[in-house]
Structure 1
């Protein structure tokens, strides 16, 4: 409710960066990019006797209402319209405000949520209330709240709402600000140790390196726009300057060596998939797209965006391999892709009159840029190890090397003579190997196959691997492919 407590009126911005607007027909609602229009302004009325519930009145003097009329026959979403206040049905105009990170969800009388729809017409730009059953539509019920200052005092506000609200003048740009929750002295801050411990990873840090679950570092590319992963942690491109966000106790910005900010954009990484691009940008105004909320997870952190997504280091096959997106890990195999180790490479030196002058100086970035790749098991610095084992050549991996390729729909493989990609596998069971491939590639339900030396046909692996760690060549078959259906017909699965 803190999003609505200090405002006469608000604007609601959907995940598509469009505003909830009331149409001039005084019935329909939709989304529009024109946030300066009076139709995007909604007067807030707190519902007496119901904590956390509000009504939203449009410039037409009518209330945002969750109707029982389907938007399209056969679909789950119902229409959201403007209606006059009427005793006996006023509960359809009440919305429960539920905080979700930097955003809110508005829950209707029947347990569904106000949803800004995307996709193709007739869905595009529409507003319904529904449950986000699909993982791809989870963000459609999240709204950014902008505080709109319509009047200087509540007396003029009260005397004006009874008149023609359509005569309101749009507020000046200076009077429209993004609402940021008042975290100081808030219940959330008092009761949550999760956020505080997340911030501790960056306490007094001036610059850090972020190491992904794939043991690769978050890297700012030389094109000064792209962000990738790389094993070269000693590069200056792996160094990110930490800035705290004023007014927040657990939100940071990360600036690359090119002076640009790590930014969660709204551009899809690939059409048809959920991950969105993470880039280096230098926005004219420092907005929430460059703000990251550290959340602790054991000895590592997750970096959460204002959209509720997480900074994700992708594995698998190109073009996913070494890419960085922001997304929600819905599958178990990719849960660890949003976890990061934090290596502090430079700190803010704070002089103290009680500091012992004979004490050794604190380490700076020059002495830490080439430190060994050690995990940050605590929030303090890892000590430099003099042991040759930490800086010598990497230990030889135990297990067998397995080369693999992904088959086409008919079972064919491009570049048949090539070895393909590889991984090191220590076990011998086929089920364990299949899980390993799913984690490595990001694919689900794959079938691990070998090719017969007699006729060249593919057959699913069913027996354990040979006991000696010999190099193997396998082919991964997708579960929805033609060759997988043939396996089922032949009783091989």
Structure 2
């Protein structure tokens, strides 16, 4: 029922992109491609006697009704008609919404479903209630829901005034509550990445890039569905194009469609401290691993093997928040240490939320209130991780320390004392290609935090650095 709880009026779009419409004869129900017509608008009314059911009222003030009249003699499927207002208490005008992914089925009083028929006349554009008996007609009972804003003072707006609404959030939306911009990190510690061709979507270790940031949009008619927009202003889309011919898995693209549709909508599903993003087709956003062409690719699919179950799980880092509104509730959490990955960000994994600042001393000075003198500097904050023999650091724990010096050699000695590791190479990861390079000469100014990776000189990567003359 949450699909109907946040809007007073809707349009129902069938499998063939036609809308449920009521004819001017105040009797016939059919399908129409004319989206802008008032005949395709239905006001949603709750049923007091049956909380699971709704009534749908059209522009003529009549109700959508599942009659017991056959559509064609000798053929399954009964007529769907318009019933007058005095029939509002009848079971025939009550429909029970049944959620199926991003779509909905409407079950009638007799257990059949509202069906948008296809095929040749007289079936074409007709609407019946029936049970699908083949896989071909299984989609005919699925409907997309589009919210409608009614103009004040109209007849339909007056009818809708008594609607009951809800602003409570689905628990699966905790990851995105108050989120304005997020990063999504896959099972192999790479970020969902909008490629520069403004069409492809891949994975990248470069989490500091704008291409790894996705703006969050909430869908009006549901509190459990979102859209994600890339830095190019294009939506993350679950296309119907195969990634590789003959293989499961469909392409995920960036797109800017003429009108918003359900291929742009993702349903977050919480799993432990991670999230799965489900499409309207029942597939999941998947960060692929393995050898090329699978490596770093992103598809939507249903994992069929145990080895790929983790590929549809994502960490959510909240990069930017929305200011509190009447709909989005503020999350209150203590402020931890700053993180060097961005200059002013909000980071979140699981249910924890933290503010990040690239200049802690400036924040402290603002909080000092009456004290106008600047706080005493304790040096820069250094964040460090220890790389393995191959130079990978993503799985290692991040530590931090205060450092007052300016030179790399001095920092190296300090880190050797703290870690107990001899002959370390202090490296930084390039934002361009994600590779590690040794730091040389002086460090950046003291007013910036610094993230470094420690590599042992005796490691495989350390030996490569020495051969290339980098140390």
- Normalising by the smaller structure, the TM-score range is 0.5 to 0.7
Deviations 1:322-344 (A, max 9, x none): 654446x3856665443223356
Where in structure 1 are there 5+ consecutive unaligned residues? 159-175, 351-355, 369-375, 396-493
Q: Distance in 1 between matches of 2:295 and 2:125?
A: 34
| SS of the residue 2:388 aligns to | helix
Structure 2 residue runs of 5 or longer lacking an equivalent are: 324-333, 357-381, 395-471
CA separation in 1, counterparts of 2:191 and 2:267? 19
**Structure 2 matches for 1:198-237, cutoff 5 A?**
198-199=175-176, 206-208=181-183, 210-213=184-187, 217-228=191-202, 230=203, 232-233=205-206, 236=209
Query: Residues 134 and 155 (structure 1 numbering): CA distance in 2 closer, same or farther, change over 3 Å?
Result: closer
1:14 and 2:26 are equivalent in the alignment: no
Could you list the per-position Cα deviations for residues 212-252 of structure 1 after superposition, in whole angstroms to 9, with x for gaps in the alignment?
Answer: 34665423222212223x45546837512344549787765
Note the aligned Cα RMSD (angstroms): 5.6
> Is the alpha carbon distance of 1:73 and 1:309 closer, same or farther for their aligned partners in structure 2, counting shifts above 3 Å?
farther
> Structure 1 361/390 Cα, relative in aligned 2: closer, same or farther at 3 Å?
farther
Counterpart in the other structure of 2:276: 302
Alignment partner, residue 387 of structure 2: 388
Distance in 2 of aligned mates of 1:147 and 1:275: 34
For the 8 Å contact 2:6–2:166, the answer to whether it is kept is: no
Whether the aligned pair in 2 keeps the contact of 1:44 and 1:54 (CA below 8 Å) is yes
TM-score by length of 1: 0.51
- Match of residue 239, structure 1, among 203, 208, 212: 212
1:374-415 superposed Cα distances (whole Å, 9 cap, x missing partner): xx68856899653231862699xxxxxxxxxxxxxxxxxxxx
Q: Tell me the equivalent position of 1:36.
A: 36
Instruction: Give TM-score scaled by structure 2 length.
Output: 0.53
Q: Which position in structure 2 is the counterpart of 1:195?
A: 173
Q: Is the 8 A contact 2:191 2:207 kept in 1?
A: no
**SS of residue paired to 1:129:** strand
* Partner secondary structure for residue 385 of structure 2: coil
Q: Is the 8 A contact 2:27 2:82 kept in 1?
A: yes
Q: The residue matched to 1:386 in structure 2 has which SS?
A: strand
Q: CA deviation at 1:296?
A: 1.6
Q: How does 1:37-76 map to 2 (within 5 A)?
A: 37-42=37-42, 44=44, 46-47=46-47, 49-58=49-58, 61=62, 63-65=64-66, 67=68, 69=70
- Deviations along 1:291-342, one digit per CA (max 9) or x if unpaired, are 5443321232112456765434467999887654446x38566654432233
Change (3 A) 1:156 1:148: closer
Offset of 1:106 from its aligned partner? Answer: 1.7
Q: Spell out, residue by residue over 1:35-76, the C-alpha distance to the aligned partner (whole angstroms, 9 max, x if none).
A: 1224323455554533343333555657432547477978xx
Deviations 1:167-215 (A, max 9, x none): xxxxxxxxx9xxx99553x3xx4xx54432x337xx768542x343466
String of CA shifts for 1:67-120, please: whole Å, max 9, x gaps: 47477978xx624421546979943332123456765432111223323456x6
CA distance 1:219–1:10, shift in 2 (3 Å):
closer
Question: How many residues matched?
Answer: 347
